[in-house]
Structure 1
Amino acid sequence: MLRSHFIDDAGFNAAQSSSNDSWRRLRYEDSYPCPFCRQGQICGLYLMEVFSCNLCDHIFSSNLPQQTLTLETGAGPRAKQWRWYGDRWQPERQSTGKLTMGLQALSIAIILLPTALISISGYMFPPLPTQASIGFPILWAALTGASHLALVLWFWLEYYQISVWVILRVRLQRWRWA
């Protein structure tokens, strides 16, 4: 049996929409799985041409002829974008989001400089001989390094809006509400 594959003016395969019942076009009247948190449902907001997730509260602008969503409420400088393929979301390729050398150097400096300052001060001004068994300077330097590393990792997760981080945050919110 021959199937006619033709592309309509919006750029969609019309044979796919007629042969597959699960394939459906992106419309404001329907609800879809959230492409960002992957846990909630997005649906169109009344009197607006945007979608909103009922769980992670993100707002997405849409381009219905191209079947794409763009994240409008995000912290990163680049807007995340997804294309709807009738039954799933596919992230759109964007320019590489690698850290520049300056940001890498700044991240390393945020971790190493405070840790080095605490370590040097602990070395230059050691504890009294009666308190030498505590190891306070080493403990304090380790805690400083660990806390600054956690801070830099948290900034990277928020900057790149890593979906795994969002999924963990949403599941934590669900656990608190239950």
Structure 2
Amino acid sequence: MPSSKILTTSFNYQGVYPCPVCRVGKISHMPLMEAMACDFCQQIFTVNVEQQQIKMPSRQPPLIWHWNGFNWTEAQIEGVEFGWGYLIAAGAFVLLPTALIGIVAYNFPPKPETPLSWVPYVWTALTFLSHLAIIIWLFIEVYQIPIRAYWRAIQQRFLNR
């Protein structure tokens, strides 16, 4: 019985790799430069072949991806390490104001016959949604998620069918 071996590929300048930013295009070597570029989102990456990584210098601090032989690992911000403290702070930012408004609306409910008795409940939901939207927006800004490139790829995929 032949052994089935999974072959990993080493990262080098001659290869063509999936783009870690848009995940639609392919990155390849740019002639006469020590850089690679995506054919879809037009991002340019500097290359470190020894460490098997690429860096996106177009933002500060730059994002770094490591090649594991099959695909790119998740993006890391150079010099910044996010831990549990950030997740707890984000959860508290979303849940504490929502809980505060919800508890007040629950303990001091308006009389049902008043015309705007629904406002405290809608206000609680809007508090949750607005604080969650702020956290999502910060995540998109920090990791430079290319929403327009994703939208363009979805449109092209539906138009080509």
- TM class by shorter chain equals 0.5 to 0.7
Counterpart amino acid of 1:137? P
In our comparison, the structure showing a higher alpha carbon Rg is 1
Deviations 1:60-85 (A, max 9, x none): 21124x27232224768574232374
- Under a length normalisation based on structure 1, what TM-score does the superposition of the two structures give? 0.55
Which aligned pairs between 1:56-75 and structure 2 lie closer than 5 A? 56-64=41-49, 66=50, 68-73=52-57
Map of 2:114 onto structure 1: 130
Q: Quote the offset at 1:145 in angstroms.
A: 0.6
Structure 1 portions without partners, runs of 5+: 1-19
In structure 2, give the amino acid aligned to 1:146: L
The match for 1:89 is 71
Secondary structure of the residue that 2:28 maps to in structure 1?
Answer: strand
Rounded Cα–Cα distance in structure 2 between residues aligned with 1:130 and 1:106:
37
Q: State the 1:169 CA deviation.
A: 6.2
Which of 135, 143, 150 is matched with 2:126 structurally? 143
Aligned sequence identity (%): 31
**How is 1:1-178 mapped onto 2 (pairs within 5 angstroms)?**
26-27=12-13, 31-64=16-49, 66=50, 68-73=52-57, 79-83=63-67, 85=69, 88-91=70-73, 97-101=81-85, 103-116=86-99, 118-119=101-102, 126=110, 129-132=113-116, 134-156=117-139, 158-159=141-142, 170-177=149-156, 178=159
Answer yes or no: is the 8 Å Cα contact 2:54–2:66 preserved in 1.
Answer: yes
- Amino acid paired to 1:50: A
Distance 2:27 2:121 in 1: 50
Quote the Cα distance in structure 2 between the aligned partners of 1:124 and 1:147. 23
Contact 2:22 2:150 in 1 (8 A): no
* 1:82–1:90 contact (8 Å) kept in structure 2: yes
Distance 2:55 2:19 in 1: 11
Question: Which residue does the alignment assign to 2:3?
Answer: none
Q: Give the CA RMSD over aligned residues.
A: 4.3
**Paired residue type of 1:27:** Y
Query: 1:10-29, CA deviations, whole angstroms, 9 ceiling, x for partnerless residues?
Result: xxxxxxxxxx9x9686225x
Q: Distance in 2 between matches of 1:72 and 1:39?
A: 17
Partner letter of residue 111 of structure 1? V
TM-score, reference length from structure 2: 0.60
Aligned pair count? 148
Q: 1:25 to 1:91 in 2, by over 3 A?
A: closer
Structure 2: state its 5+ residue gaps.
1-6
After the TM superposition, which of the residue ranges 146-155 and 117-126 deviates more from structure 2?
117-126
